[in-house]
Structure 1
Amino acid sequence: MPFYDIHHCISLTDAQKDALAEKITYLHSGKFTTPSLFINVAFTDVGQRQIYVAGGARTAAQFEQLCEELSEVWNEVVDVGGPKETHSQRSLRGVFVLGGLAAGLEVGFRVPMPGEDHVYLKSNLQAWKQLADSGDEDFAGLIKELETRKEFIAQL
């Protein structure tokens, strides 16, 4: 599943990181119908790392559009339009979408290969419901998301 690793050279407040993580999660989840529990966003600033946890074959155009939208989110949250002398320091200098995950395991479940999201959702739904019913708050949130968002309801 997606892992956004944001490297930045300016200090970001917790509120800015929260807002960026939320908006990145929303963008990716909406574009590729991925449950937010499986979208990870990490921020790296001078060696400190904080991780915020919240698809089909993708075309280059889809990823290019996602990069542009991520850049817009950065500009909105970090206020690039501030003083001119800090504009180049605050602006996002690059967004790169890297492919090539051979395999993965996240919260005990195999990570689906691109294009297998809908099969992944259906095949793991019962196990996720059992975890939610046993009191796992992350999976309770996942089940709530799957049952309330129209793009997931259509797949399940």
Structure 2
Amino acid sequence: MPFYEFKHHIPLTISQKDELAAAITSIHSTHFSTPKLFVNVSFHDVSQTSTYIAGKRRTANHLSAHVRNGPSRSRKDWAHLTSEIQAAWDKIVGPGLPKVRRGDPEVDTSLRSIVLLGDMIYMTELGFTVPPAGGDVQWLQENWGEFNRRAEGGDEDFRGMVEEVKERKLMETDGMTAQQKLEEALGWGDSA
């Protein structure tokens, strides 16, 4: 459902891309009730693209994402998600690249920006209309028969998703953690 797009000026190895994609998928799907099958991540090498910051030609690494925004997702939720993504980048990509010569300047490997765009107004993916933010549980329930049919028909992606939904009990929790349910019942926290 979300589309994360890395625009990187530094070379990323296949294993770094694999690890970043796995990290983003895990982070997004655990923050929200999105099944992993519907988290999309792509990488675009922009080393040959002219980018300007403050009117000057610069190189930088950026992440933008088209996400579903709504009342079930607070600014605090997004801030926490972006801090985890930043930590994953720092861990996987790390500081600095090897220099060819000692006198060469340090290459900036940092992730300069993370921009989340809550602009998804309608979407279909894998033949299913994607629900609005916060509507994942009802959507899973409404489409469960078809998800199972595809899984039983040999579709490995849907087999994995069905297993994930069962393991995470996504249809039983209405997408909220026990802590969030307690806060809602008591009128505390973001649920107040």
Q: Which category describes the TM-score, using the shorter chain as reference length?
A: 0.7 to 0.9
What does the per-residue CA deviation read over 1:80-122, in whole Å, with 9 as the maximum and x for residues that have no partner? 26679535x2000000110121111100000111111111111
How many residues are treated as equivalent by the alignment? 147
Matches within 5 A, 1:33-72: 33-46=33-46, 57-72=72-87
Q: Which protein shows a greater Rg? A: 2
Q: Determine if contact 2:29/2:35 at 8 Å carries over to the other structure.
A: yes
DSSP 3-state at the match of 1:94: strand
4+ residue segments displaced more than 3 Å: 81-87
1:13–1:82 Cα change, 3 Å: closer
Among 143, 166, 186, the alignment partner of 1:124 is: 143
Q: Is 1:154 aligned to 2:172, yes or no?
A: yes
Q: In the alignment, which residue of structure 2 is the partner of 1:15? A: 15
Percent identity for Structure 1 against Structure 2: 40
**Letter of the structure 2 residue corresponding to residue 57 of structure 1:** S
Deviation at 1:153?
Answer: 5.4
Q: In the alignment, which residue of structure 2 is the partner of 1:79? A: 94
| Structure richer in helix, relative to its length | 1
Name structure 1 gaps, 5 residues minimum: 48-54
| Structure richer in strand, relative to its length | 2
Q: Is 1:107 aligned to 2:100, yes or no?
A: no
Q: In the alignment, which residue of structure 1 is the partner of 2:153? A: 134
DSSP 3-state at the match of 2:23: helix
Q: In the alignment, which residue of structure 2 is the partner of 1:52? A: none
Mapped partners of 2:3, 2:139: distance in 1: 18
Mapped partners of 2:97, 2:171: distance in 1: 42
RMSD: 2.1
DSSP 3-state at the match of 1:131: helix
1:111–1:153 Cα change, 3 Å: closer
